[in-house]
Amino acid sequence: MNQTQGKLLVDLNFLELVENMKIVELLYGKVDGIEGFKIGLKPIHMECGFKILHRISMLRGVVKMYDGKLFDTPDTIAPIVSRLADCGVDLLTVSADAKQPTIDAALRAKGPTMKILLVFELTSVPSSLRRIKRNLAFFRSS
């Protein structure tokens, strides 16, 4: 089996800590191929997200991903990325629409082990709006 097969991250997107931890207890170490867990915007903004990160950090070898698609100024992004790194986040999404200084700030604040993933397009955005956005980007750059 090659290294990319069988590595899954399970989305923890419930608003309550207990519901998310039930998923972790049900799956982690019991279902082949599950390498870790992804935490999105809802749990983080409802305060249970950092509790989830703390709890799953106690599991040996678990990968923790925060899918925040961060997009803000460098001064705002840097402390957020640093806090997430302190919480043991291994993978973090940053919007590719962010300006280069913001992406650079995230890279400086991430610490030695976190990986930054740039998100170029949201699949939840209708294709017609994605085309408009690409056209606007083209006109701005010309």
Mean pLDDT of the chain: 82
Distance (Å) of CA 45 to CA 28, 35, 41: 24, 24, 6
pLDDT tens by residue, 75-120: 999 999 999 999 899 999 998 888 899 999 999 999 999 999 998 8
pLDDT at 122: 63
pLDDT tens by residue, 28-45: 988 888 999 999 888 877
pTM of the model: 0.76
